Amino acid sequence: MRDKQIEDLKDYKYGFSTDIESFKAPKGLNEEVIRFISNIKKEPDWLLQWRLKAFERLKVLKEPNWQKPKYPKIDYQDLYYYSAPKSFKEKPKNLEDLDPKLLETYKKLGIPLQEQKRLNGIAVDAVFDSVSVATTFKDTLTEKGIIFCSISEAIQKHPDLVKKYLGSVIPITDHFFATLNSAVFTDGSFVYIPPNVKCPMELSTYFRINASDTGQFERTLIIADKGSYVSYLEGCTAPMRDENQLHAANVELIALDDAEIKYSTVQNWYPGDKDGKGGIYNFVTKRGLCKGKNSKISWTQVETGSAITWKYPSCILKGDNSIGEFYSIAITNNHQKADTGTKMIHLGKNTKSKIISKGISAGKSDMTYRGLVDISKNASNSTNYTQCDSLLMGNKCGAHTVPYIKNKNSNSNIAHEATTSKISEDQLHYCQQRGLNQEEAVGLIVNGFCKEVLQQLPMEFAVEAQKLVGISLEGSVG
Amino acid sequence: MEQKLKTDFDKIISTSNFSNQEIKLKKEALDNFLKNGFPSRKLENWKFSDINQIIQKNIGELAFYNDYNIENEINDDIFINDIEHNKIVIVNGKVERLSFEYEEKDKINLSTLDNFNQNSNDDNSLLSLNNSFSNKIHNILVKKNYSFKKPLIIYQITNEKVSNTNINFQLNFELEENSSIKIINLTDDNSEKNFINNLFNFNLSKNAILKNYKIDKKSNTNIKYDYSSITQKENSISETFIFSSGSEYIKNEVSCNLEGQYSSAFINGIHLLSKNKHHEIRTKTNHLYENTKSYQLIKSVIDDSSKSVYQGKIYVDSKAQKTDGYQLSKALLLNEQTEFNAKPELEIYADDVKCSHGSSSGSLDEDSIFYLMSRGLDQKTAKELLINGFLLDVVEKITDEEIKKLLKQMIGLN
């Protein structure tokens, strides 16, 4: 019985694809496509100009190539930059109007879109290929003055906020993939928490890539005004396909005075099959700006999916006394590759940052932690603590640690620790002696290894993540 | 620069006495250097210290010609009297004296190499530069079962006759089975604004022991690059100690290849910097076989507006199970203008390993100063005491007692 369960779990259970007619922009990357996207989304002219400016910049940029996992050249002209379910030409007013097939898809994924089936009161914004399909719990949030909607809607309804903050953390002149996103982004979530409001529930976005040959370029913008608090969750899946699909999202967080943003990700994009065929290229730019005094941004990520993960959720600690945190679990198995970590840039006085990174590699996978801690001249009394631990399972995988440490302030302290080891024979022996089989024992030990990070996740996510950790490693021991 | 390189190269070839084989290899090396030029920050290894820019800024136009026919005078005052030792004296990149008076003559073989290792490394064009412009390469072979009775001190001298010149020097050591040698490499710079490029090769056979202590103390305005390449066979031990303080800019690079089981490499270093100095240590230990061990401890004390960099990489091949690797770097920033950059890196492909690294940087601990002051010390003495203790930690790692005593005296730590 248990064997059968394991057998079921081994497969990527989100690998189905939904047979739904989609409406796409012409293939290729050019000005027309950008105009097409902007037009179909009825965007104001300033945004179109902004996109075109990014596109101009993109023409001179080169793809970065310093990362560890190399990938075949991506033909940017052979991709669809916009894909939406056909029934979406006019965005449905409410859930009843949604294509039942879509509802079915999200039901399969375990995402509650119908509010009556609500689960612990999490407000969800679901993004399917290029468009946001539904946002739940709008009324409760509106009462508090919280804006939680798709970014397309925000562009229409709250243009001032979007115009003020869009691109303020990740400018259009940033690196290749961020600029690509600025030029062609299609949808994503927008959150604004007004001053002194504690968001009463977890906000969540669920991303799903369905159509083939499609790149997903979503853009998320979260603004926490003075004294506010928000916890935001993000989940992702994609169908199993033989070709590699590109996912290049931009996420911008802005925390004003005394505000706190907690951003959690459980990334479970399709990782490709056992032989490393297919899977998502997850090249995401995530950056948070602690703009105000005493602000705090905390990133938590559980990275189990994607053929290649390449991302560094970062914090720019600009406000005095601001805090940046990064908690990460990255698991790679089979032929997966990950190059992930964080950047903590200390600009303000008395700023603090903490980095806890746990990497587990198994099979023939390769994992790199790459991080930067930069304390500038003016950031007096700043501290950083970094800990990155890696666990190796088998001798065909690799685990690497590449931290960059820059200290330009004599009143600031940086401490960095890293270890790499395997699961100790003693621990395994002890667990097995108590009646656990090898796989259960490994699961238990790995969960313990990850505990520090898992604890940072909101409850519902923590449970899911814990399971995911177990599943990702099935079959990698013994 | 390209024209200058070519003409100076021709000049050296025509005035020196190289064999055809050497000339051929030297030409290849020159081509390689011409192709790559001086390394800049675009290369990962040179990210924190852009030597191209540093040379441009501090020296400007470099001359590459070095007259290897000149007989340089040696001032005997510079020799150390405290311990009996063998000598190699190098003046402006030319070996002037080799004396092994304390050793058995038939146990050592001195020669010059005709066929040197090209070391062509795209990342490191300075090795090519060295190969193309250095004088004949001396090779010191220590025969089987022979241990040096007295340490060998390599005096590396530059005199006021050279300036704005690139000096290249290369030396080779072969340690046969069960042999051992202790080396102190002392620099004595009386020249200004030269770019000195050193390359030391060490080949350790089974059970061989190398102890290498590198001291750069005398304040000078030269820019230096010093590369030690150590290859180790079964059960061999290498110990490298670096004291880096005097030169304007210096990058010490130590690369260890642990190729045989039970071989181990220890690299310890001190940066003691003031004024406007910029020093870097880069270590690379490659664990290529089972049961190998490496240990690195680097400490920096940085004052005024100086800058210290440590880049350390532990590489573990998938064959190298049961590797034990440890690396620790610590820095004390004493002044607001100082800067410390570190990149401790692990690249691991084997699972049954124990590898860790740690790095910390910050100011002197206020509590410790307070404690000492409450015991009656003034602030200055308290700080000195703490810095002393901080650095002694590294010096105490030196395994040779006699040399440890000498170096403590030389550095001024007790």
The residues near A258 (Cβ < 8 Å, ≥ 6 apart) are A226, A227, A292, A293, A294, A295
Contact A232, A222 (CB under 8 A): yes
- Residue A1 pLDDT more than 50? no
Residue B306 Cα, gap to closest chain A Cα (Å): 11
* For range B161-181, the mean pLDDT: 92
Contact A83, A214 (CB under 8 A): yes
Among the residue ranges A124-138, A170-184, A322-336, B133-147, the one predicted with the least confidence is A124-138
Across chain A, mean pLDDT equals 82
Q: What is the pLDDT of residue A241?
A: 64
- Residue A5 pLDDT more than 50? no
Q: Does B402 touch chain A (CB under 8 A)?
A: no
Put simply, the answer to whether B358 touches A416 (Cβ < 8 Å) is: yes
CA-wise closest residue to A288 among A300, A302, A299: A299
- Residue A467 pLDDT more than 80? no
Put simply, the answer to whether A407 touches B350 (Cβ < 8 Å) is: no
Q: Which residues of A touch B (CB under 8 A)?
A: 66, 377, 390, 392-422
Q: B206 falls in which pLDDT band (50, 70, 90)?
A: very high
Domain extent, residue B349, equals 2-386
Put simply, the answer to whether A397 touches B351 (Cβ < 8 Å) is: yes
* For range B347-365, the mean pLDDT: 89
Put simply, the answer to whether A420 touches B348 (Cβ < 8 Å) is: yes
Put simply, the answer to whether A417 touches B362 (Cβ < 8 Å) is: no
A-chain residues near B347 (CB < 8 A): 398, 400
Residue A222, φ and ψ in degrees, nearest 5: -125, 125
- Residue A13 pLDDT more than 80? no
Measure CA B335 to chain center: 27
Q: What is the pLDDT of residue A373?
A: 94
**Beta-ladder partners of B237:** B209, B264
A-chain residues near B339 (CB < 8 A): 406-408
pTM: 0.86
Among the residue ranges A104-113, B1-10, B50-59, the one predicted with the least confidence is A104-113
* Residue A381 vs residues A138, A304, A378, B358: alpha-carbon distances, Å: 42, 36, 9, 21
Residue B188's H or E segment, with its range, is strand B180-189
* For range B212-237, the mean pLDDT: 94
Q: What is the pLDDT of residue A478?
A: 44
Environment class of B189 (CB within 10 Å of its CB; exposed 0-12, middle 13-18, buried 19+): buried
Q: B41 falls in which pLDDT band (50, 70, 90)?
A: confident
- Residue A461 pLDDT more than 80? no
d(CA B167, CA B134): 8
Q: What is the pLDDT of residue A394?
A: 81
- Residue B355 pLDDT more than 70? yes
Residue B398 maps to a domain: no
Put simply, the answer to whether B339 touches A396 (Cβ < 8 Å) is: no
The residues near B412 (Cβ < 8 Å, ≥ 6 apart) are none
Put simply, the answer to whether B358 touches A418 (Cβ < 8 Å) is: yes
Put simply, the answer to whether B361 touches A405 (Cβ < 8 Å) is: yes
Taking residue A365's Cβ as centre, other Cβ atoms within 10 Å add up to: 26
Q: Does B343 touch chain A (CB under 8 A)?
A: yes
Contact A115, A154 (CB under 8 A): no
B-chain residues near A376 (CB < 8 A): none
Residue B60 Cα, gap to closest chain A Cα (Å): 28
Q: What is the pLDDT of residue A9?
A: 45
Taking residue A78's Cβ as centre, other Cβ atoms within 10 Å add up to: 11
How confident is the model over A355-406, as pLDDT tens digits?
999 998 888 899 999 999 999 999 999 999 999 899 888 888 889 999 999 9
CB hemisphere CA count around A4 (13 angstroms): 1
* For range B57-82, the mean pLDDT: 86
Among the residue ranges A345-359, A386-400, A451-465, B285-299, the one predicted with the least confidence is A451-465
Put simply, the answer to whether A418 touches B344 (Cβ < 8 Å) is: yes
Q: What percent of chain B has pLDDT over 70?
A: 98
d(CA A55, CA A404): 31
Nearest to B339 among A393, A398, A407 (CB): A407
Q: Which of B317, B332, B361, B387 to mutate to test the interface with A (most CBs of A within 10 A)?
A: B361
- Residue A7 pLDDT more than 90? no
Please report the beta strands in A136-180, taking only residues with DSSP state E, as ranges in sequence order.
147-150
Q: What is the pLDDT of residue A475?
A: 61
B-chain residues near A398 (CB < 8 A): 347-349
Residue A371 Cα, gap to closest chain B Cα (Å): 10
Q: Does B338 touch chain A (CB under 8 A)?
A: yes
d(CA B187, CA B367): 38
The residues near B159 (Cβ < 8 Å, ≥ 6 apart) are B72, B91, B92, B190, B191
Q: What is the pLDDT of residue B222?
A: 92
Q: What is the pLDDT of residue A294?
A: 94
One-letter amino acid at B56 equals Q
d(CA B333, CA B351): 37
Put simply, the answer to whether B349 touches A398 (Cβ < 8 Å) is: yes
Q: ipTM value of the model? A: 0.83
Residues within 8 A of A (CB atoms), B 249-278 only = none
Put simply, the answer to whether A410 touches B321 (Cβ < 8 Å) is: no
Put simply, the answer to whether A398 touches B347 (Cβ < 8 Å) is: yes
Q: Does B398 touch chain A (CB under 8 A)?
A: no
Across chain B, mean pLDDT equals 90
Residue B24, φ and ψ in degrees, nearest 5: -60, -50
Q: A470 falls in which pLDDT band (50, 70, 90)?
A: confident
How confident is the model over B240-279, as pLDDT tens digits?
999 999 999 999 999 999 999 999 999 999 999 999 999 9
Q: What is the pLDDT of residue A105?
A: 65
Q: What is the pLDDT of residue B372?
A: 93
* For range A323-329, the mean pLDDT: 93
Put simply, the answer to whether A402 touches B362 (Cβ < 8 Å) is: no
Q: Does B355 touch chain A (CB under 8 A)?
A: yes
DSSP-based three-state secondary structure for B380:
helix
Contact B36, B125 (CB under 8 A): yes
Put simply, the answer to whether A394 touches B358 (Cβ < 8 Å) is: no
Q: What is the pLDDT of residue A101?
A: 64
How confident is the model over A35-61, as pLDDT tens digits?
888 888 888 999 999 999 999 998 888
Q: Does B357 touch chain A (CB under 8 A)?
A: yes
Listed as own residue / partner, the contacts of B72-81 with beta carbons closer than 8 Å and 24 or more positions apart are B72/B96, B72/B157, B72/B159, B74/B157, B78/B155, B78/B157, B78/B188, B79/B153, B79/B155, B80/B153, B80/B186, B80/B406
- Residue B156 pLDDT more than 60? yes
- Residue A94 pLDDT more than 60? no
- Residue B342 pLDDT more than 90? yes
Q: B141 falls in which pLDDT band (50, 70, 90)?
A: very high
B-chain residues near A363 (CB < 8 A): none
B-chain residues near A406 (CB < 8 A): 339-341
Q: A247 falls in which pLDDT band (50, 70, 90)?
A: confident
Residue B397 maps to a domain: no
Contact A342, A368 (CB under 8 A): no
Put simply, the answer to whether B348 touches A400 (Cβ < 8 Å) is: yes
A-chain residues near B362 (CB < 8 A): 407, 410-414
d(CA A434, CA A417): 32
Q: What is the pLDDT of residue B354?
A: 87
Q: Does B360 touch chain A (CB under 8 A)?
A: yes
Q: What is the largest CA-CA distance in chain A?
A: 68
Q: A18 falls in which pLDDT band (50, 70, 90)?
A: low
B-chain residues near A405 (CB < 8 A): 340-344, 359, 361
Angle, CA A311 vertex, CA A308 and CA A315 arms, to 5°? 170
d(CA B116, CA B137): 8
d(CA A288, CA A323): 11
- Residue A123 pLDDT more than 80? no
Residue B395 maps to a domain: no
Q: What is the pLDDT of residue A188?
A: 82
Q: B370 falls in which pLDDT band (50, 70, 90)?
A: very high
B-chain residues near A409 (CB < 8 A): 333, 336
Nearest to B348 among A398, A404, A410 (CB): A398
B-chain residues near A66 (CB < 8 A): 44
Tokens linked to A294: 């005493």
Put simply, the answer to whether B343 touches A404 (Cβ < 8 Å) is: yes
Put simply, the answer to whether B358 touches A397 (Cβ < 8 Å) is: no
Residue B269 maps to a domain: yes
Put simply, the answer to whether B357 touches A392 (Cβ < 8 Å) is: no
Residue B391 maps to a domain: no
d(CA A157, CA A161): 9
Among the residue ranges A200-214, A244-258, A316-330, the one predicted with the least confidence is A200-214
Binning chain A into helix, strand and coil, the percentages to the nearest 5 are 25, 35, 40
Environment class of B58 (CB within 10 Å of its CB; exposed 0-12, middle 13-18, buried 19+): middle
Comparison of pLDDT for B16 and B190, the residue scoring more: B190
Report the domain count for chain B.
Answer: 1
- Residue A408 pLDDT more than 60? yes
Comparison of pLDDT for B55 and A3, the residue scoring more: B55
DSSP-based three-state secondary structure for B145:
coil
Put simply, the answer to whether B345 touches A422 (Cβ < 8 Å) is: no
Q: A78 falls in which pLDDT band (50, 70, 90)?
A: confident
Residue B81 maps to a domain: yes
- The listed range with the strongest mean pLDDT (A111-125, A143-157, B35-49, B181-195) is B181-195
* For range A297-321, the mean pLDDT: 91
> Phi/psi class of residue A51: alpha, beta or left (left: φ > 0; alpha: ψ in -120 to 50)?
alpha
Q: What is the pLDDT of residue A118?
A: 43
Residue A265's H or E segment, with its range, is strand A260-267
Nearest to A405 among B348, B352, B359 (CB): B359
Residue with tokens 């903050």: A165
Among the residue ranges A83-87, A108-112, A200-204, B63-67, the one predicted with the least confidence is A108-112
Q: What is the pLDDT of residue A132?
A: 60
How many helices, marked H, and strands, marked E, lie in chain B? 7, 19
Q: What is the pLDDT of residue A112?
A: 55
Residue B30 maps to a domain: yes
> Phi/psi class of residue A218: alpha, beta or left (left: φ > 0; alpha: ψ in -120 to 50)?
beta
Q: Does B312 touch chain A (CB under 8 A)?
A: no
Among the residue ranges A10-19, A167-176, A418-427, B248-257, the one predicted with the least confidence is A10-19
Q: A4 falls in which pLDDT band (50, 70, 90)?
A: low
Closest residue in chain B to residue A376, using alpha carbons only: B339
Tokens linked to B311: 């880049």
Residue B396 maps to a domain: no
A–B interface: beta-carbon pairs under 8 A: 115
One-letter amino acid at B300 equals S
